[in-house]
């Protein structure tokens, strides 16, 4: 039992660290533009790319970066793809103001818990 708990904690730690890099550090507008331009409601993002939907490419790229982090942490391309799809859907909901940043991060955290459980069971 102790081994399973240690494996789960180890996996959750790696997933959390990957999330901190891909969802926090790589979205800092002073360092990178991906977090800024993925939101079609930001005035400067719309001004830079127009109203024709370029923001969706930034959102998809952001999802892929988060999927890459999960792939690195778990060693599973399947979990990386699942994270990519979930991350895009979750962030889309936040962008469209279905919920705020705290619920957004709770959903991301829940995904990490699920990936950690499924990779250590």
In whole angstroms, give the CA distance from residue 108 to residue 110.
Answer: 5
3-state secondary structure of 121: coil
Q: Which tens digits make up the pLDDT trace of 6-19?
A: 999 999 999 999 99
| Residue 5's pLDDT band (cuts 50, 70, 90) | very high
Helices (H), the chain: 2-19, 34-37, 43-49, 55-74, 77-95, 101-120
3-state secondary structure of 53: coil
**Which pLDDT score, from 0 to 100, does residue 58 have?**
82
Domain residue ranges of the chain, discontinuous segments joined by +: 2-120
**Which pLDDT score, from 0 to 100, does residue 68 have?**
97
Model confidence at 65: pLDDT above 80: yes
- Among left, alpha and beta (phi > 0; psi -120 to 50; other), residue 82 is alpha
| Residue 23's pLDDT band (cuts 50, 70, 90) | confident
For residue 26, the 8-state DSSP code is G
């Amino acid at each position: 039992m102790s081994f399973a708990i240690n494996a789960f904690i180890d996996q959750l730690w790696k997933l959390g660290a990957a999330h901190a890099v891909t969802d926090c550090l790589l979205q800092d507008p002073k360092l990178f533009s991906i977090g800024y331009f993925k939101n079609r409601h930001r005035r400067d993002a719309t001004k830079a790319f127009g109203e024709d939907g370029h923001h969706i490419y930034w959102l998809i790229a952001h999802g892929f970066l988060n999927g890459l982090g999960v792939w690195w942490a778990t060693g599973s391309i399947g979990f990386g793809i699942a994270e990519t799809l979930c991350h895009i859907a979750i962030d889309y909901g936040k962008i469209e103001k279905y919920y705020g940043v705290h619920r957004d991060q709770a959903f991301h955290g829940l995904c990490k818990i699920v990936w950690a459980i499924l990779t250590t069971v």
